[in-house]
Amino acid sequence: MINTLHIKNIGIIDEISIDFNKGFNVLTGETGAGKTLIIDSLEILAGGRFCKEMIRKGEEISFVEMSVSDDKTKEEIILSREINVNGKNLCKINGRMVTVKELKSFMASIIDIHGQHDNQSLLNTNLHIQLLDKFSWNDLKEYKNKYSEQYREYKRLKEEIAKNYGDEKEKQRKIDLLKYQLNEIEEANLKNGEEEELEEKKKKILNSEKLSKNLQIAENEILNVSVDSILSAVKALEKIEDINILYSDASRILKSIYYDLEDLGGQISKYSNEIYFDEQEINEVENRLSLIFSMKRKYGNNIEEILKYKAELKQEIFEIENLEEYTNKLKEDLKKLENEMKINCKKMHEIRSKYGKVMEEQIGQNLTDLEMKNTKFKVCTNYNEQNNFNENGQEVIEFLIMTNIGEDFKPLIKIASGGEMSRIMLAIKKVLADVDEVQTLVFDEIDTGISGKAANKVGEKIKQIAKTHQIICVTHLATIAAKGDANYYINKEVDGKKTKTRISLLKDQNLLKEIARIASGEITTVSLQYARELVGMSAYASLSE
């Protein structure tokens, strides 16, 4: 569940922190105060898209941070996302930098956000199979994961078979070009590490005059030192070294100097003898480097890439020259794979059909609870072994609905109103919540298009879900807000020339006043009494306006 949400520089929000509770968390408040920005911030942390226009005016960076804990392990995890006005993203999980994709993947098991426009997404039949698969995932996942691997290979084989080199003339032109490139690379006879060795050799040859001159100077200077004189001094000190240890130390040091000079002189002489300048050789080195540069410009950034491209050329030439044989082999592989996929698709269909019936029954019961008593819900499966393969198999799933007794089942887009769509989506969320491991469900204006008894039932249904999941809900309806376990009031204040969002946890009298304000638009004796009835707080019967 989400413990704390910290938001900085998002829209009119300068900086706020919210400590959420378990159960049903309700967000209410003034229009334009920032309720939706809080949901937007949750979506940002869930890996959603972010536009730089959301950054608070005059600021360079927006920052959102959240602490979540696993109900089972009690482990606390800190997630954050920082977005710069120049578009740079910085995402972290427990201080470790991650990509937006990794953040999104991690958050998929933490939070499910139902935004203001998600009801419309229910009209997209592509979503229906995703929802059914989610409901049947425990039994389906083995076959669906296997099918996903098969489908990737299926597409690869289809693309290979569809590869067309044109007529025989075009095919020969392609082979000639590939062979020319291959021959050019082979004639170059490139070796890994060769370029670095040539550059080192070139550097040494081009600096031969400088090296030779200075080594000679060093050798001469060493020779100018009277080695014989040092040796005579050593012998003189040896004669008196037994008299005092100081003379012995001096003798030892002088001997070391003598031997070091002898060794150094020999080494420098060797270096000097190795130095040479060969104009023919430097020309050969430069020509070879020029060839390597030309090959890099055509076939790769370095020799390793060029040699890899060489292997690819050989393979492509082989495929074109043996195209018919190669294509026949691919077709055999594809046919074998298609047979395996059909077996897997049939198994997935059986599982989906089984769970589709269960889903129909459970959603239907929830719709009855939500004041849609005569509504029937149907999961329609269009499966045929002759259907083309798609990413989900060989079937299309569509949710159908019948809102009145005696009518036919029809697609959602042809029947459902805004209020009905809200309740259908809530019924689906309730059914999925029972099998889903997602800890937190977020509803942004789930109450769209409903009121009265239906709104009360929606509140009761959310309250049921809150027994096993953390709920965060933005609402404008008093009947829903009154059922909250924790109610937060969002308002805006003008500070100088800037508007800021403020949030507070409502208790006792303040909670009643907010419920009354939502119910009638103003706080009156009548609206307060109504609020008391909704909240069931008889202890505040004496509360005045």
43-100 confidence digits (pLDDT tens)? 999 888 887 778 888 888 999 999 998 766 778 899 999 988 887 889 999 999 999 9
Report the pLDDT averaged over residues 318-328: 83
Label the pairing between strands 89-93 and 76-84.
antiparallel
Least reliable range by pLDDT among 149-158, 214-223, 428-437, 496-505 = 214-223
Angle at CA 483, nearest 5°, toward 482 and 489? 55
Spatial distance between the Cα atoms of 506 and 129, rounded to a whole number of angstroms:
41
Residue 292, token pair as written in the block: 């390597």
Spatial distance between the Cα atoms of 63 and 81, rounded to a whole number of angstroms:
6
> Strand, helix or coil at 19?
strand
The reported pTM is 0.65
Least reliable range by pLDDT among 14-23, 166-175, 360-369 = 166-175
The pLDDT confidence band at residue 117, using thresholds 50, 70 and 90, is low
The DSSP secondary-structure symbol of 372 reads -
The DSSP secondary-structure symbol of 538 reads G
Neighbour tally for 185: CB within 10 Å:
19
| pLDDT per position as a tens digit, 234-251 | 778 778 878 778 878 888
The pLDDT confidence band at residue 539, using thresholds 50, 70 and 90, is very low
317-320: long-range contacts at Cβ-Cβ below 8 A with a sequence spacing of 24 or more?
317/175, 317/178, 317/179, 317/182, 320/165, 320/171, 320/174, 320/175, 320/178
What pLDDT shows up at residue 541? 39
Q: Are 310 and 182 in contact (CB under 8 A)?
A: yes
Report the pLDDT averaged over residues 209-228: 68
Report the pLDDT averaged over residues 193-203: 88
All structural domains of the chain: 1-110+438-506 (3.40.50.300)
What pLDDT shows up at residue 540? 42
Report the pLDDT averaged over residues 363-383: 88
Distances (CA, A) of 170 to 164, 167, 175: 10, 5, 9
Q: Are 375 and 454 in contact (CB under 8 A)?
A: no
What pLDDT shows up at residue 382? 86
